[in-house]
């Protein structure tokens, strides 16, 4: 049907305007696929963030324990048992413990614990073996633990 000159043609009286079933199904499928892709991307970003945090904390634990190990290679430092403060990390608190290890049984005794907010002191003693354990706990409850055993030089 033709309308007045210069106007758009009008639909026949028996034709109803709207989307066909195929068009609606294609639109729903496109929206669903788009949502799945965005969820995969968001999940990947969360995993990357969590991996970065875990790597940072593990590097801090290993670096600190390597420093303690290197410092205690001197007989005097080992006997004095001086400890420095572990690095503070965002959204994590640290807990440091030092224990005497029984060489025959592997059991520990005489554990001394230092927490974030207190200055680590000394763990005196000329015992054959000491175990230093550093634990970082995140605000969300996850924990990262590392330890090193140092024998009397």
Provide the pLDDT for residue 153. 79
Provide the pLDDT for residue 13. 61
Report the percent of the chain where pLDDT is more than 70.
Answer: 90
Separation of alpha carbons 73 and 93, rounded Å: 28
Per-residue model confidence as pLDDT tens digits over 21-57: 999 999 999 999 999 999 999 999 999 999 999 999 9
Q: Judge whether residue 3 has pLDDT over 60.
A: no
Q: Judge whether residue 1 has pLDDT over 60.
A: no
List the alpha helices (DSSP H) in the chain. 21-71, 75-80
How does 70-108 read in b/e, with b if 16+ C-beta sit within 10 Å?
ebbeeeeebbbbbbeebeebeebebbbbbbbbeeeeeeb
Q: How confident is the model at residue 128 (pLDDT cuts 50, 70, 90)?
A: confident
Single pTM value for the model: 0.73
């Amino acid at each position: 049907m033709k309308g007045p000159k210069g106007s758009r043609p009008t639909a026949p009286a028996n034709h109803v305007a709207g989307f066909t079933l195929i068009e609606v199904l294609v639109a729903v499928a496109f929206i669903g696929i788009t949502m799945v892709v965005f969820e995969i991307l968001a999940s990947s970003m969360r995993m990357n963030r969590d991996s970065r945090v875990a790597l940072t904390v593990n590097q801090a634990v290993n670096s600190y324990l390597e420093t303690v190990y290197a410092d205690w290679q001197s007989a005097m430092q080992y006997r004095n048992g001086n400890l420095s403060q572990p690095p503070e990390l965002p959204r994590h608190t640290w807990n440091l413990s030092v224990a005497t290890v029984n060489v025959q049984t592997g059991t520990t005794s005489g554990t001394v614990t230092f927490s974030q907010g207190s200055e680590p002191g000394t763990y005196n003693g000329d015992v054959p073996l000491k175990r230093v354990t550093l634990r970082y706990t995140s605000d969300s409850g996850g924990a990262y633990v590392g330890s090193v055993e140092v024998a009397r030089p």
